[in-house]
A and B are shown apart, each in its own frame.
Chain A
Amino acid sequence: MKKKLLILGVLAALLFTGCGGSEKETTGTAGGADKPTTFVMGSANFNGDFYYGWTNSAYDANIRRLVWGGGLLSQTDKGELALTSFVESKVLSKSDPSKESEDIWTFKIKDGMKFSNGDPLTAKDVKFTYDFYMDKEALAATGGTSSVSEYVDRVELDEANNTVVFYLKRTMYTIGSSVFSEDQSILDSTMILAGAEKDGVTPQQWVKANMSTPVGYGAYKIDEYVESQYVKLSINENYQGNFEGDKPSIDTLIVQNIPEETKITQLVTGEIDGLANIGKEENVDAVLAETATLSTNNYFRHGGGQITFHNDFGPAQLPEVRKAFAYEFDRIKFRNIFLGKYGISSNAPYSRNMWMMYEDGEQFGTEGKFEKSLTSYDILDADGNWDEEANLKEAHKLLDQAAAKTDGLYAKLTKDADGNYLWEGKELALNLAITSAWTDAINLTLTKEVQDKFGMKINVDSMDWSIMANNLYGNSALSERKYHMFTGGTSYSIEYDPYANWSSTKILPFGKGSSSNSTRYVGDEKLLDEIRFSNPSTDEGTASYKANWRKWIVEVNEDLPQLPLYSNNYYDVYTNKVENFETNALWTWPYAIIKANFKK
């Protein structure tokens, strides 16, 4: 008995001495005046691909933002682009005034700049970076990708003046974000070239092999990376400050992989100090109840989920059918099941963080005049609830109009004597491909009862993402084409070029390859060009961009090639021991943490 007690005693002692369960050790450590501070940010798992060009993980991108924070241009808290702190000036000129398309952008780098490891940061590094990403063959051989060479013709270096000159193929409105922003973070050529030479490989191969230990010039530098566990960062003493000159004050930043199942409990109990993008009702309510220990920032997501129609296939080719489906689909009910109460639905591909949505004086994040002018595909009753009868009436009106037409494709849509809608003589049906996460919300929204009332059958198939992707992108691996609609999500960049995903030049014949215009929608191509080629450097160009973008939104709102379902109302939550941690949809936590500090 004594023996057993002794063993139990030793085990208990080991457990309690090892666990160290005091609050000081498990929550954000503010410490005293001189004590170093640590902030632990919860994250989903990252791949460890911390250089741009290889990964598709948003969580890796957060680490990149901490390590670099931008390219030659970096964004502000309002989603605008400003010179990054190591850049002295940017000059715009033309080599040949008769050539409208060839702009020259010249960047002068400040003297005496350094990377976090002490290597000099000069125009030479800028030139190296662009050559690195424009060497598509070497990049592709390592599985990397970059679109820089689509925009840039050549880059010249003026080493004596610490200046680099970009000859652009054509001025585009989004050139700043596409070519000079965070995706083209400047690489440390001294380190990479030395490493590549030592290992006898190309710079691209060396970067690929050292993907988890990048060196940048951002607010933080990586001290330690443990795969699937965490990234530990400390302040970069060579950091020049963000667009406002702010420098970080939190000494150590830990970005930790946290399981989805326990993330809210870990935050509430103080095991971690912050979590971003909390959107599900049960999670939001749980953190909002903890006002004594947690602070929150609230905003609408810069993106959302949608149903993408294949606008070149079956009944989905007719805008009346697409719109009738939109009236059939109770988006409010769907949102409530999928997210709870924290979300909205837009009526075209826009978010409430886009400046183009607002007139002067209107409040960002609210429903402005322009948004109100668009057609909503949810008809509500006097109490603000989805009005089934009114939506039904509108859907039938649209289908009747289409059935009455006999020209072209419309001849395929008919209505029989019993009032049933038919496509090519058979029951009107749309096939919807979804991934498993959507199953419950979709099935509970598109019930058989609703389908029967609306007279349009919706066949829902749940599948893996990669299978759905093959169908959505029209890949050749498919034996037959079956689906008219697909569920998915979109995040917008800070500057939006609809051409990239909506131009008809992006559509390949179905089954012949992979189309990046996944809606396969052919709209007003001239309008897309006008949006794309607006000049960002002039007021006229900016005004033209806004006006044409609005025209395009009106067009897609009317034609409905895609039905937006939801945009989350996100909460970023953090310990209230920290202040000045002001995130928004465009100013995500890796940027905002620079200004944050532990309260004294």
Chain B
Amino acid sequence: MEDEKQQGKLRTLFDTVFPYIKYIGNRLLHLLPVVIIISIVIFTLIQLMPGDPILAMINPETTANMTEEQRIAYIETMRKVLGYDKPVIVRYFLWWKDVLTANFGYSVALNKPINEFIGSYIMNSFKVNIVGFIIAFLIAIPIGIKSAVRKNTRYDKIVTVVSMIGISLPSFFMALLLVLLFSAVLRILPFSGMVDPRGVRPEYVYYILPVSVIVLSSLASLIRYIRNAMIEVLKADYIRTSRAKGLAEKVVIYRHAFKNALIPVITIIGFWIPALFGGSIIVEKIFAWPGMGLLMNQAYQFKDRGVLSTVLLFFAVLTLFANLFVDVGYALVDPRIKARRIK
């Protein structure tokens, strides 16, 4: 009897989850050609970049004492070592081979294989961007909802004004302002870095300022989106019906209204996350935070083609996954979409 119950539960769970897995699997298959097309575009654009990667890597002063024949031979050796002597098409497939074996090529700026450091840069970016975004989202939900519910009250006006200020402030300015206040004047937070070399401060205090900048720079816009989405939903007939049925206001707002307001918000999140990574260049630079934004900046400056290809591919894949997240998110919050897509 117990076993049957257990089996029944498992079957129900399977019946609920499997359509989603199948849907995600299908979407991933559909994404494959997109990834290939994007990779061709990225690779072509990188190859079209002006400048010689080998010359950019070699310091002329270090080879100054070589004879010209030795110098040319050295440059050609480097070209071979780094695979730049092969035709572009061959290099494209070699690049894919490298990517699929998690060997992303060689950084001419850092003079080491990319797979030796790319993982830590990705993780560092995730640490500040995702944590920052989650905190911003959690703060924005109640404020945005309250602002919508109390539309045109003093509370709403204050939130609107503060949001507009937040949207208007560039993140680098916000970062420097926070550094000035908390590091230079109050001296309670470190200026930059990820860890205290003297081992005095705990690691988490190094996250406070960069995460705060991500939170503050995302918060204002998120509040505005949630507020506007909620205002639209609160006008709907079914909300009036819910209230007429005598449901508690909290139930009306959070169970009925907010769930529907989430649809446009999910769309925003989907586009926001990749943009957040790309846009964190300034934050990562000011806080000496070695993330993907900083890496992309360095790679661009040094025309570090291998790193640039890898970073751009990362952003492309992130964007595609964000789209997948949006699609699954729609299905989760909207039964109509679920009925159409998850069978």
Contact between A141 and B191, CB atoms less than 8 A apart: no
Interface residues on A, range: 35 or more
Contact between B110 and A15, CB atoms less than 8 A apart: no
A517 to B60, CA, bound (A): 10
Of the candidates B51, B57, B74, B193, the one whose C-beta lies within 8 Å of that of A140 is B74
Which residues on the B side are within 8 Å of A469 (C-beta)?
Answer: 51-52, 55-56
Instruction: Pick from A333-341, A448-456, A470-478 the stretch touching chain B.
Output: A470-478
Contact between B56 and A150, CB atoms less than 8 A apart: no
A9 to B301, CA, bound (A): 45
Interface positions of B from 182 to 215, Cβ below 8 Å from A: 183-184, 186-195, 197-198, 200-202, 204-205, 208
Contact of A56 with B58 at beta-carbon distance under 8 Å, contacts A227-B117, A259-B285, A514-B71 already known: yes
Contact between B110 and A257, CB atoms less than 8 A apart: no
Residue of B nearest to A463 (CB): B50
Residue A31 is within 8 A (CB to CB) of chain B in the complex: no
Residue B26 is within 8 A (CB to CB) of chain A in the complex: no
Contact between A470 and B55, CB atoms less than 8 A apart: yes
A265 to B176, CA, bound (A): 11
Q: Which of B52, B75, B208, B287 has the most CB of A within 10 A?
A: B52
Output the least CB separation between A316 and chain B (Å).
20
Of the candidates A16, A465, A518, the one whose C-beta lies within 8 Å of that of B188 is A16
Residue B62 is within 8 A (CB to CB) of chain A in the complex: yes
Residue B59 is within 8 A (CB to CB) of chain A in the complex: yes
Kindly supply a per-residue 1/0 record for chain B positions 154-190, scoring 1 wherever the CB is within 8 Å of any chain A CB and 0 otherwise. Answer: 0000000000000000000000100110011011111
Residue B290 is within 8 A (CB to CB) of chain A in the complex: yes
Kindly supply a per-residue 1/0 record for chain B positions 290-323, scoring 1 wherever the CB is within 8 Å of any chain A CB and 0 otherwise. Answer: 1000000000011100000000000000000000
Residue A552 is within 8 A (CB to CB) of chain B in the complex: no
Of the candidates B62, B192, B198, B301, the one whose C-beta lies within 8 Å of that of A56 is B62
Residue A294 is within 8 A (CB to CB) of chain B in the complex: no
Of the candidates B70, B184, B197, B301, the one whose C-beta lies within 8 Å of that of A269 is B184
A467 to B50, CA, bound (A): 6
Residue A283 is within 8 A (CB to CB) of chain B in the complex: no
Residue A49 is within 8 A (CB to CB) of chain B in the complex: yes
Contact between A21 and B55, CB atoms less than 8 A apart: no
Contact between A262 and B190, CB atoms less than 8 A apart: no
Contact of A464 with B303 at beta-carbon distance under 8 Å, contacts A262-B179, A514-B75 already known: yes
A224 to B197, CA, bound (A): 9
Residue A291 is within 8 A (CB to CB) of chain B in the complex: no
Contact between B193 and A230, CB atoms less than 8 A apart: yes
A216 to B59, CA, bound (A): 24
Of the candidates B65, B193, B286, the one whose C-beta lies within 8 Å of that of A178 is B65
Contact between B198 and A38, CB atoms less than 8 A apart: yes
Which residues on the B side are within 8 Å of A45 (C-beta)?
Answer: 288
Which residues on the A side are within 8 Å of B287 (C-beta)?
Answer: 259
Of the candidates A259, A470, A506, the one whose C-beta lies within 8 Å of that of B68 is A506
Contact between B55 and A466, CB atoms less than 8 A apart: yes
Contact between A466 and B303, CB atoms less than 8 A apart: yes
Which residues on the A side are within 8 Å of B109 (C-beta)?
Answer: 47
Which residues on the B side are within 8 Å of A38 (C-beta)?
Answer: 198
Which residues on the B side are within 8 Å of A143 (C-beta)?
Answer: 78, 81-82, 111
Contact of A56 with B55 at beta-carbon distance under 8 Å, contacts A266-B191, A513-B72 already known: no
Contact between A465 and B56, CB atoms less than 8 A apart: yes
Output the least CB separation between B206 and chain A (Å).
10
Contact of A26 with B187 at beta-carbon distance under 8 Å, contacts A254-B197, A256-B197 already known: yes
Contact of A147 with B286 at beta-carbon distance under 8 Å, contacts A261-B176, A262-B192 already known: no
Contact between B68 and A508, CB atoms less than 8 A apart: yes
A150 to B51, CA, bound (A): 29
Residue A19 is within 8 A (CB to CB) of chain B in the complex: yes
Output the least CB separation between A42 and chain B (Å).
10
Which residues on the A side are within 8 Å of B66 (C-beta)?
Answer: 147, 150, 516
Residue A520 is within 8 A (CB to CB) of chain B in the complex: no
Contact between B193 and A227, CB atoms less than 8 A apart: no
Output the least CB separation between B306 and chain A (Å).
13
Count residues of B near A (Cβ-Cβ below 8 Å).
Answer: 63
Which residues on the A side are within 8 Å of B75 (C-beta)?
Answer: 513-514
A15 to B211, CA, bound (A): 14
Residue A375 is within 8 A (CB to CB) of chain B in the complex: no
Contact of A147 with B176 at beta-carbon distance under 8 Å, contacts A18-B202, A227-B120 already known: no
Contact between A232 and B197, CB atoms less than 8 A apart: yes
Which residues on the B side are within 8 Å of A259 (C-beta)?
Answer: 191-192, 285-288
A505 to B78, CA, bound (A): 23
Residue B77 is within 8 A (CB to CB) of chain A in the complex: yes
Contact of A229 with B288 at beta-carbon distance under 8 Å, contacts A19-B201, A20-B200, A271-B183 already known: yes
Contact of A229 with B201 at beta-carbon distance under 8 Å, contacts A466-B56, A469-B51, A500-B64 already known: no
Residue A292 is within 8 A (CB to CB) of chain B in the complex: no
Interface positions of A from 288 to 331, Cβ below 8 Å from B: none
A467 to B52, CA, bound (A): 7
Residue B63 is within 8 A (CB to CB) of chain A in the complex: yes
Residue of B nearest to A226 (CB): B195
Across the A-B interface, give the 6 residue pairs with the lowest CB-CB distance, nearest first.
A466-B51, A56-B59, A228-B290, A147-B65, A466-B56, A21-B188
Chain B interface residues (CB < 8 Å from chain A): 50-53, 55-60, 62-68, 70-72, 74-75, 77-78, 81-82, 109-112, 117, 120, 176, 179-180, 183-184, 186-195, 197-198, 200-202, 204-205, 208, 285-288, 290, 301-303
24 contacts between A and B (CB under 8 A): A26-B190, A56-B58, A140-B77, A141-B77, A224-B197, A226-B195, A229-B288, A232-B197, A257-B193, A258-B191, A258-B288, A259-B285, A259-B288, A261-B176, A261-B286, A262-B176, A262-B183, A262-B192, A475-B52, A477-B52, A513-B72, A514-B60, A514-B75, A516-B68
Beyond the given pairs A470-B50, A516-B64, 8 more chain A to chain B contacts, judged by CB atoms under 8 angstroms and listed by A's residue number, are: A18-B201, A19-B188, A29-B198, A56-B57, A211-B112, A261-B176, A466-B53, A513-B72
